[in-house]
Structure formats: structure tokens, C-alpha cells
Structure 1
Amino acid sequence: MFDRLEKVLMPTADKLGKNKTLVAIRDGFLISTPLIIVGSLFLLIANFPIPGWSEFWARFFGEGWESYLSNVARATFDVISLLTVIGVGYSYAREIEADKIQGAIVAIVSFIILMPTSITYEGAGGIESLTAINFSFIGTNGIFLAMVVSILSVSIFSWAYKKGWTIKMPKGVPPAVADSFAALIPSAMVMFVFFLLRIVFELTPYESAHNFIYTVLQAPLMGAGNSLGAQIIYVVSSSVFWFFGINGPAVTNTVFSPIFRTLSIENLQAFEAGSPLPHIYTGQFVDLFQTFGGGGSTLSLVIIMMLFCKSKRITQLGKLSIVPGIFGINEPIIFGLPIVLNPIMIIPFIGVPFMNTVLSAIAFETGFLPYTNGVALPWTTPLGFSGYLSTGSLKASLVQVVLVILGCIVYYPFIKMLDKTYLKDEQYQSEEDELEDISFDNLSMKDL
């Protein structure tokens, strides 16, 4: 059975892992991740979930002190589409061996060409128009268009460049000058294509590419991703890939990460505005309530290994893995126990994250837990702290602890089976070593 699964999954994972478009999208998001995390920390400080927090600091910094911190957060969240188009454009250019900086530049210029640049409002003389960019076009509503524009614009640029449609400067010209002239015609072609696309979209009922992509692609995908079914598919497939030695999230995030990121930022914007949080299944739900200690939620497994196993191999590995596990690092367990291709551990390795997902979903759906606020905590944040900071509720920390305990119960019978096997091997090896110690090689006639 495992051989058949491996034959199906390995080629799929290999194709996804090597697909240049998906890799560029994944890495493009990673480029902006540090900025999102830092911006989230500023927002968390401004809205720390402790009663009287704002009033206490207002004594020192005055009323409205939060706005200074919120400005830093808005510099990342409200322009997330611009960060996305730059990151994906750069990453895709790298993947197809084009000029990375030029790729990022033509991507963002193409994105802005398609963007509506007028805002209508009710003025003293009736409906008036203002030349400006609406933040909704460069926020979460534009993320999917940013990805599409990045891939398309860099593809056109690279195609024209590799065709040789460039201006070649004579030898002796500084490389920076030569490169800029070489990029002139390919860049002009990209800009002309997106100029035509803008005109085409303005003639449609959608009026802009942003409205078209959001209505036709982004909103349906977010609706599908914002569901328990999507979460189960994500966590189960990640665990299955890990079982075969493939970094599961590295594969599944190429598909799901844009959806989870968008849902998280929408919650974060609502949290900042003091509005009701719209989504349950955000990136924080994935990171903080599905798995603890890494893929397979192996923190529960490590605890059982330390406390209830007798095999020296397992107990020592558990002791070595507990600290990394607390901070979400579990490669020592994945490859050291191992989990990879271990038929005894496959059931709990998939089952525990599945259980965590369903029980957490019930806790959020029933209102027992408040929705996650979208704050992008570092993925190494330990449980308990992460639950409280992401929801503002101590009940979330309690739920995390309960899920880890339930995970221990599920893992227990399986790791004990493996423990018995390893213990027998160790006892057999010990007997072999004792026999090897009894040797006639050291005997001499002088001893007689």
C-alpha cells in the first residue's frame, strides 16, 4: 500500500516542488513575511489584549498613542499587494533566469498601469472625482491580481529579452548603462500589453482588472479556502508528504498560502478597526491550532517519548527534541525516530493534526473561542502564549494545552509498540556485545 502511495505522491510532490510559477509565488510571499511579522508586532503592542492597556500607556504618551504604532502596521498590511507583486516578480525572474531587479520593476509598473487612479466622492457641487489610488486596490483585494500580473509581465519581459529584442551598446559602456538600455524594448512591450489590457477591462462591466480578478477568482477561492474541508485537505496532505520525507507545508503552501495570507490580513484589518473579525480559518488557525511542535503535532509524541518509553534510543531522542519541539522544530523526530516511512506512526501522525483541526474548528464555530486577530506571530512562538496573543483569550491557551494532552493519548499506544521493538533490539545488541567481550584473542601461552 505504501509503495503505491509513494508512486503517486512522489511525482506529484516533485512536480509541485519544481514548478517555477508555484515556487515563485511561495518565495514571493516569504520576501514580505518579515515585514508582516514586524508590522503585526507593532499592531499587537497597540492593541494588547489586556484590560486597561491603552489607558495605562495614555498617561505617559497621551491619548491616541496607538496611532503611531498603527502607522507602521498600515505600511505593510494596507500595501500588501504591492509587496506581493514585487516579491513574486523578483522570485519568478530568478526562477526563469531573467534579470531579477528588472522583473520586480516591470511587475510593479504593470500592476499600477491596471490600477484605477480616480476616486469619486460626494462634494459640494455633487459627485466629484479625485486623482488618487484607493487603498483597497493595493491591499488584500489585489493579492491575486498581483500574482497574475507578476507572472505575466515577467514572462513577456523575459521572452522579448531572450529573443534578442534589445538595444546593444558598444563595448566600454558601463554595465549598468548597458543593462538599462538592453531592458528598454522588453519593458516597453510589457507596458504596452498592460496598457491594452487596461483599456479592454474598462470596456467591460467589471471596469478594472482588479474588480474582475477579485470577483471571478479571488472571492471564490477564499470562500473555498475559508472552510473546514479545505483545512482538512491541507493538514492531511501536509502530513502525508512528511511521511514520505517531503516537507509537507513547502508543497501545500504553494497552493494554500495566498488564500490563508489574505484571510489573515482581512482579520487583522478588522481587528485594527475594531470591527467584528470575519474569518475562522486564517493562517493563525493553521499555525497555532492544527499542529504543535511541527508537522504531525509531534510535541505530544515527544512528551510521551520522554515520560513513558523505556528504549534508550527513544527516551534520549525525546530529551533532545523537547526544546526544539516547544518552538515548532521537529526534524529530529521526523528523521531520527523516524516518522518517515514508518508504518507504525503513520496513523497518529495524520490523525492527531486531523483531530486538532476538527476540535479547534468546533471551538471557533460555536463561539467558545474568539476568532484569531490575524497578528502574524513568529512560527516559533510556544503554545499558550500563541493562543492568547492570537485571540486575546486565555481559553485559547487552555484549548491548545488540552489538544496536546489529547495528542499524547492518541500517540501513546503507537509509540509504545515502537518502544517495545526498539527495546528488544537494544537488549539483543547488548547480549551481542557481551559475547564479543568474551574473546580468545587476548589469551597467551604465558597465562597458562
Structure 2
Amino acid sequence: MEGFMSWMTESFAPRVNKLAKNPWIAAIQAAILAAMPMVLVGSFATILSIVKDFWKGFPDFSMISTFSFGLFSIFLAYLIPESVMNHKGHKDVAKQAGLAGLGFFLILVYPQISKDGGHITFDLNTLGSGGMIAALIAGLFVGFVMNLFSKWKFIHEDSPIPDFIAAWFNTLIPITIILLIGWIFTFEMDANLYHVVNTIVSPLVNLGQGFWGMVIINFLAFGFLYTFGISSWVLYPVQSAIFLPAIAQNQANFEAHKAVTNIFTNEAMFLFLIGGGGATLALVIMLSFMAKSKRLRMIGRASFVPAIFNINEPVVFGAPIVFNPILMVPMWICSLLGPILVWVVMKIGLVPIPHRPFQLWYAPAPIQSWIVVESIRGLIFVCIFFAITWIVYYPFFKVYDKQAVKQDAELAEKGE
């Protein structure tokens, strides 16, 4: 175990953290996070839609979701190339890259234009999270081209020409090439790049949407990597590419009176992220009210309120769980049990599969459970899983608390 911990500390964790700081990966993360307020607005619309289910005279706010979460791919098409250029140090042409990404994506999704040119029609599904992967690839391609041409400038920084005019001329060729490629494929070759891209990547998405994909990805993000100080946000681009299109498809199927089948959604994950990644709320309660160590009791109480709202950095880094073999193991166990049990109960129909987007991850688990599945069965599952996490954490907590009491006594003797 000591050899494994040493390897993780000195080799694995630094490499993963370095990978997370790669400008291309960091650009995707930054773009998705920048667009999250629009997703959150769509989540508020979901809450209002639930009210309408019980009060028929309540206004229909579904269009708010349509023009927030429902346009997620458009936002990414702009934000990803802009973010790439910012991370590559080309901030002077970042906005132009974003505009090129937006134009290229709208060509990519195969718009229908009337013969007189007066009307253009888009499939709304391609503009929301359903087109997210196409937007991701389009944005990275645009970022690549714009970054490549930023090395060859017509007008250099020492030129007396104003910066905004220099940006015009320095981006003319790459933007022309980008839009020309889109024009050739869509309007000359009559190829639907949106369908091509989705066909190519669909096996990977389907693999991620399966049982093992859900279990492994969630275990890595919220359990294994997290206990080595590697933020779960490292895998967020991978997760979001799977669960955002999945919830969009679930919503479309539900509205069309078809079966809702995609289990690996962010909404389903809320059922086992009780107190945050690794379901640490049970541990926080133990630390707050049962710990004999004054130090652990203080950490637990400082972490208690954040944990209710699924923020567990205080306990993960304060107790600490990170690089602590005693508390890492139960966190790994809970990070495996959570997705496994959610998959099972939803697959056999004990708990309904979520069909509406809800991204307010900081809402307390009991509230989330009722909103995302719209059934008391979600709340019952959360209570049962909380009891399971309590059983898992308790023996490890007792061992660590005993160890902490001994350490506190030793420090007191040394006058520290």
C-alpha cells in the first residue's frame, strides 16, 4: 500500500493534473463551465414545469428551457474556439475565433434554406445538447485552424495600424478556409456533417451510457481520482458529452410518449452524490457529532453546512480524505455502490429514469431526488443509500477517530 501511495503521489497525480492543465482540455472545461448558467436557467424552468403538472392554470415556462439549455450546442460552438485562443495566448483574435466557430457549426448541422433564400430552418434538437458532440468537434477544429494561422500574421504587433484592424486582416484567411470547408461539405457535396460526426462517435457515447461506462466514469471522477487531490472536473468534458445529450433524448422521448431509457444522466447521479462526490454526508455527520477528537469534530462542523448543499471540499481536504488510506477506501466503496445501485433500481423500474434537465447540483439530496424522478421512490432510494453509506463509513471513521485522538494527545504533550 505504501508503494502504491508513493506512486500515486509522485507520478500519477502530477501527470493527471498536468493533463488537466493542457490548453485544449482546459479550453473545453472553461467553455462548458462558462455555458453552465444557461443550463441552470433551464433547470429553473424544469422546477416551474413541475408546478404546472399540479396547477394547470400555471404559465408554461418551457420556452425558457428551449432558449437556454435548448441552445447549449450553439453556446459551445462559440465558447470553445474562443477559449482555445485565450488559453493559447491569442486573446486578440479570440472573439473572431468564436464567431467563426458559430458560423461553422450552423453550416455543420445542415440547415434547410428555401429556394428564394428568404427562410432558413434548423432542427432544434441539433442546437441543444443533442448537437453537443458536433459542436465540440467543430469548436476544436476552428480553434486548431485559428491557432495555426495565428503564427503567420499579415500585420504584426509592432505595426502602427490599430489592433482591431490588424485582427480583421489576420483572421480573414483562416475564417475563409473554415467556412469554405463547411460550404463544400454541406452545400456542394450535400453531406450532413452533423450526422457523420454523431455516427462516428456514437459507439463511444453508447459505451459510456452503458452500465460499465456509468460505473467506471463515476468511480474515477468522484472516488478514485478525487481521493488523490485530482478534481472531478478533470473528467467533466467526458461526462457532459454523455449525460447532456442523454437527458435531452430522454426529454424528447417523454414528450413523444416513447420509452425513457438513458440512465447515465447528471440528474440520476444526484441520487448517489449525497453530500458531494463519494457520498460524504454520512462521514461529515459522524465527524460533527460523534468524533472524540476535537480536531475532527471541528472539521466536521465546519464542513456540515457545505455538505448539505453537496459541497465536500472542506471534508475531503480538511479531514483529510485525500491521501488518507483509512478514509480513501470507504469513499471508493461508496463511489462504486452509488452508480451500481442507481443503475439497477432504474433498470428494473423501481425508480423512474429522469426525463427533465435539472442541473442545480447544490440542492439538498432529498429535494433533488423528488424533483429529478418526480416520485417518492427517489426519496426512498436516497434514504436507503444514505443508510448504506453510513454503514460503509462508520468502521473506518472509528479507526481514524481513534488514531486522531492519539495524535491530538501527542501534540498536546509536545505543546503544539
Give the letter aligned to residue 101 of structure 1. K
Q: Structure 2 CA distance, aligned partners of 1:428 and 1:139?
A: 58
- Whole-angstrom distance in 1 between the partners of 2:233 and 2:102: 26
Offset of 1:47 from its aligned partner? 3.1
Deviation of the 1:7 alpha carbon: 4.8
Following TM superposition, by how much is the alpha carbon of 1:394 offset from its aligned partner in structure 2, in angstroms?
1.5
Aligned to 1:441: none
Residue 215 of structure 1 aligns with which residue? 199
Residue 81 of structure 2 is matched in structure 1 by 89
Alignment partner, residue 111 of structure 1: 105
The structure with the largest alpha-carbon Rg is 1
Whether 1:283 and 2:271 are equivalent positions in the alignment is no
Describe the superposition over 1:267-317 as per-residue Cα deviations: whole angstroms up to 9, x where unpaired.
23444556542311111122x123211222111111122333211111221
Cα distance between partner residues in 2 of 1:12 and 1:169: 38
TM-score (norm 1): 0.83
Specify the code of the residue in structure 2 equivalent to 1:209: L
- How far did 1:45 drift? 0.6
Cα distance, 1:189 vs structure 2: 2.6
Q: Which residue of 2 aligns with 1:300?
A: 282
Task: Please tell me whether the aligned partners of residues 387 and 397 of structure 1 are also in contact (alpha carbons under 8 angstroms).
Answer: yes
1:446 is matched with none
Is contact 1:348–1:414 with CA below 8 Å preserved after alignment? yes
Q: TM-score, normalised by structure 2?
A: 0.90
Q: Could you tell me how far 1:257 is from its partner in structure 2? A: 2.0
2:225 corresponds in structure 1 to 241
- How many Å separate the matches in 2 of 1:359 and 1:119? 48
Instruction: Tell me, in whole angstroms, the C-alpha distance in 1 between the residues paired with 2:204 and 2:113.
Output: 27
Root-mean-square deviation (CA, aligned residues, Å) is 2.6
Tell me what 1:368 maps to.
350
For residues 321 and 49 of structure 1, the distance between their equivalents in structure 2, rounded to whole angstroms, comes to 36
- Give the Å deviation of 1:432: 5.1
Contact 1:119 1:134 in 2 (8 A): no
Q: What is the rounded CA distance, in whole Å, between the counterparts of 1:12 and 1:284 in structure 2?
A: 31
Q: 2:329 aligns with which of 332, 336, 347?
A: 347
Kindly provide the amino acid, as one letter, of the partner of residue 173 in structure 2.
I
Identity of aligned residues (%): 25
Q: Which amino acid aligns with 2:73?
A: S
- Opposite residue 195 of structure 2, the aligned amino acid is N
- More displaced stretch, 422-431 vs 19-28: 422-431
DSSP-derived class of the 2:68 partner: helix
Partner of 2:398: 416
CA displacement, residues 98-152 of structure 1 (integer Å, 9 cap, x when unaligned): 22211110111112233322289xxxxxxxxx85222233233322111111111
Aligned AA for 2:167?
D
Task: Please name the residue that 1:123 is paired with.
Answer: none
Q: Is the Cα contact below 8 Å between 1:166 and 1:182 reproduced in 2?
A: yes
TM-superposed deviation, 1:8: 5.0
The answer as to 2:208 corresponding to 1:232 is no
Equivalent residue runs for 1:134-145 within 5 Å:
134-145=123-134
Q: CA separation in 1, counterparts of 2:197 and 2:62?
A: 29
CA distance in 2, matches of 1:215, 1:166: 41
* Aligned equivalents of 1:242, 1:201: Cα separation in 2: 47
CA offset digits 1:324-354 (Å, max 9, x no partner)? 1101111221121111111111210100121
How many residue pairs were aligned?
407
1:330 equivalent to 2:312? Answer yes
Q: Do the aligned partners of 2:38 and 2:72 also contact (CA within 8 Å) in 1?
A: no
Q: 1:388: Cα distance to partner?
A: 0.3
Task: Rate the CA distance shift 1:320–1:49 in 2: closer, same or farther, 3 A.
Answer: farther
For residue 382 of structure 1, report the CA deviation from its aligned partner: 0.3
Query: Offset at 1:36?
Result: 1.2
Q: Deviations over 1:224-266 (max 9, x none)?
A: 111221122112212222221221x121213222112211222
Give the counterpart letter for 1:348 in structure 2.
P
For structure 2, list consecutive stretches of 5 or more residues without a partner in the other structure: none
Measure how far apart 1:190 and its partner are. Answer: 2.3
Aligned residue number for residue 181 of structure 2: 193
| DSSP-derived class of the 1:344 partner | helix
